[in-house]
Homo-oligomer: A and B are copies of this chain.
Amino acid sequence: MSSPLSIACFLMKTRSLSPEVLELVARRFAVLAEPMRLRLLQSLIDGEKNVHTLVGLTGGTQANVSRHLQTLTDAHLLRRRKEGLQVFYAIADPSIFKLCELVCGSLEKEHAARAGVFRGE
């Protein structure tokens, strides 16, 4: 309750966050609220990749993948590196994986009594 998170968290837990901050937080969640973008983030876990590779890994069209990469980059979740003809994208904010872990854990608990969708059953 002291380091980088402190101030915003303190506000979150005690007084009201300003509408502006709520907008920012909501926007961050919205960026993560698309399966294709999650898939792209997941594809980048083991290092930067160019667009062509990501198109192959995700099975999306080039245009669509490119748009989602832009959305993620605009949100500062990815960084872009141009090298000749190719553009390489990489995770810029690893904290997103903690987010996904939390969500997965929560969902897992939630669905624990039901079908084992998380185990591919």
A12 near B117 with CB under 8 A, answer: no
Complexed CA–CA distance, A96 and B45 (Å): 23
Task: Select A109's contact among B4, B34, B98, B120, beta carbons within 8 Å.
Answer: B4
A76 near B35 with CB under 8 A, answer: no
Surface stretch bound by B, among A20-28, A63-71, A78-86: A20-28
Main secondary structure of the interface of A (DSSP, over half): helix
A95 near B104 with CB under 8 A, answer: no
The list of the 5 closest CB pairs from A to B, nearest first, reads: A8-B104, A5-B105, A30-B33, A29-B33, A22-B35
A interface residue numbers (CB < 8 A to B): 4-5, 7-9, 11-13, 16-30, 32-35, 37-39, 42, 45, 76, 93, 95-110, 117-120
A-B contact pairs, 9 of them (CB 8 A): A8-B108, A8-B118, A17-B42, A24-B107, A25-B107, A30-B30, A33-B33, A96-B106, A99-B103
